[in-house]
Amino acid sequence: MVSLTTLEVLSQFDDILNRVSHGKERIEVTRDGNALVAIIPIADFRLLEELEDKLDIILARERLESYEKGQEKALSFDEVKQRLG
């Protein structure tokens, strides 16, 4: 993965968009030497979203199984709000 500073990205933005969208390149953007964000092809983003959705389903099923086995108790909406702030 290529790493560029925010200033490099700003000065090369059009080229970077082409590199990412057509060349399928992934670019890490840094500020003050720290990784800030990544610019990735839309196909990669959609795959990450799909994987995240599948993981959410797996975790929800695990929690439901625990509840059905009596290992978890149901929470009221107010309890959920309180826990999440």
- Alpha carbons 63 and 71: distance in angstroms, whole number: 9
Answer whether residue 25 is part of any domain. yes
pLDDT of residue 72: 85
pLDDT of residue 85: 85
Pairing label, strands 2-5, 27-31: parallel
pLDDT of residue 74: 86
Per-residue pLDDT tens for 20-48? 999 999 999 999 999 999 999 999 999 99
Answer whether residue 67 is part of any domain. yes
Answer whether residue 79 is part of any domain. no
Is the per-residue pLDDT at 70 higher than 90?
A: no
Q: Do 36 and 47 share a domain, yes or no? A: no
Q: Do 29 and 49 share a domain, yes or no? A: no
Global confidence as pTM: 0.73
Domain span holding position 49: 43-73
Answer whether residue 51 is part of any domain. yes
Total domains in the fold of the chain: 2
